Amino acid sequence: MKLTKRHYGWVEEKEVIEYQLVNDQGAIFQCLNYGAVVNAILVPDHDGCLENVVLGFDKLSDYMAHPAYFGALVGRVAGRIRKGQWLNHQLTLNEKDNHIHGGENNFSQVVWQTKIVEDRTDTLGIQFTYHSLAGENGYPGNLAVTVTYLWTNENTWVMNVEAKTDEQTLFNPTNHTYFNLSGDTKRTIAGHQLQIFSDVYAETSKDKCPTGQLLPVIKTVYDFREPVLMRTAIEKHPNGYDTAFKLSKGIVNLNEQESGRRLEIQTTREAVIVFSTTGMDEDYFINGKKMCSHLGIALETQELPDAVHHKHFQSIVLEPNKPHISQTIYRFPVQRNLSVHKL
């Protein structure tokens, strides 16, 4: 396996570096120390053609100017916290009356310290560390976060997250990569098939905060227990998906039959948030193309959003001397002749 790095820019006086990890099959994983951003993953289709299957910008200035969390590590807490309130703590309100994705200048907008990981001959990785000081975006506690991205010879990305605090605080991060398995965004995700091992989804109010109700997916537009063509799902649910699903097996699958590419996600986290980019028609360009509705799909593994206000959701309270440890694995096999089950 091979690692190269190149200068990518500056944030104030801190250098931003792009790391490129190449496995023995030639498949490529690229990331930045800015926001721990995953800016490219090149894996083969059924003809062996290597193409990028995630959305990313070409320049650091674009990541800084358009904070849509492309490929970034989001935290301290991903998703929304209603009114930014937890106990007697007031968190930054950065989406109208609510707190979202850790507040302003969150994990996705800082330069992380990095270290190369070379523990095995079939795996290469980058370890990111960040120390979030007490009071940052209103959170108590000094928080030490370590995120490790490993790239293997089996075209697998492993993300390990660890964190510890010196005072009770909140922690519920995610990686916010947008996937498009067609390769180099040749097509939208309309032809992708999504499967989620989940029996319930989190109902939300108009401000997209969970109501606390976990509703059955059966006989609804949220039923992805069998693979569903995204074109069919969006036709039945034109507003698209920005939806939290509580996982029953910790497994999410995405595939595109035309390219033969498949993404298999396995996680220790409680839930996945599916964001279909519906209506995301923007003025900027991503992967050399104008950002448009359904150009990618984000599959964000985390605990359920706004858990601090719903006791039956898994707790996101992090205690001193009880570190957070979690793992999400992203596999990129190639398959042919995939069957499609419609809603």
Per-domain boundaries in the chain: 2-331
Per-residue pLDDT of 66-90, as tens digits, reads 989 999 999 999 999 999 999 999 9
- Among residues 18, 34, 208, the alpha carbon closest in space to that of 105 is found at 34
In angstroms, rounded to a whole number, what is the distance separating the alpha carbons of residues 312 and 57? 39
Average pLDDT, the chain: 96
Which residue among 101, 176, 192, 294 is the active-site one?
176
Say which residue the tokens 């059955």 belong to.
Answer: 216
Question: Is residue 12 flagged as an active site residue?
Answer: no
How much is the pLDDT for 303? 98
Three-state secondary-structure class, residue 38: strand
Arithmetic mean of pLDDT, 242-250:
97
Confirm if 242 and 79 have CB atoms less than 8 A apart. Answer: no
- Among 51, 256, 270, 300, the one annotated catalytic: 300
Alpha carbon distance 10, 7 (integer Å): 9
Q: Which CATH architecture has domain 2-331?
A: Distorted Sandwich (2.70)
The verdict on whether 312 is a catalytic residue reads no
Q: At residue 270, does pLDDT exceed 70?
A: yes
Amino acid residing at 301: T
Single-letter code of the amino acid located at 304: L
Half-sphere exposure of 187 (CA within 13 A, CB side): 12
Half-sphere exposure of 264 (CA within 13 A, CB side): 10
Task: Quote the tokens at residue 243.
Answer: 């939806």
- Give pLDDT, residue 342: 45
d(CA 6, CA 32): 10
Q: What pLDDT shows up at residue 336?
A: 61
